[in-house]
Amino acid sequence: MPKYIVVRSNIKEHARVNERALNVSTDFFEKLNKKVVELIKEACTRAKENNRNTVMGKDL
């Protein structure tokens, strides 16, 4: 079972257009989770390249 970073119920809270809720498919949730993990890894790499042990917003 994969470990999820994002919380599906939180995604559903933000999946809106003009206050109208949209459905969130399972594949969207999985792809978003994968993208978030990639962003975190890239930010960690950038922090280390800048001789830091702290990941910051500017690393995104």
Each residue's pLDDT, cut to its tens digit, for the chain (60 residues) gives 568 898 988 999 999 999 899 999 989 999 999 999 999 999 999 999 999 999 999 999
pLDDT at position 1 is: 53
Q: How many CA atoms lie within 13 A of 34 on its CB side?
A: 6
Distance of alpha carbon 19 from alpha carbon 60, whole angstroms: 29
C-alpha R_g of the chain = 15
pTM score of the predicted model = 0.81
Would you state the pLDDT for residue 38? 96
Tell me what pLDDT residue 2 has.
67
Question: What tokens were used for 2?
Answer: 């994969």
Q: What is the pLDDT of residue 4?
A: 86
Task: Outline where 1-60 has alpha helix (H).
Answer: 8-14, 26-49
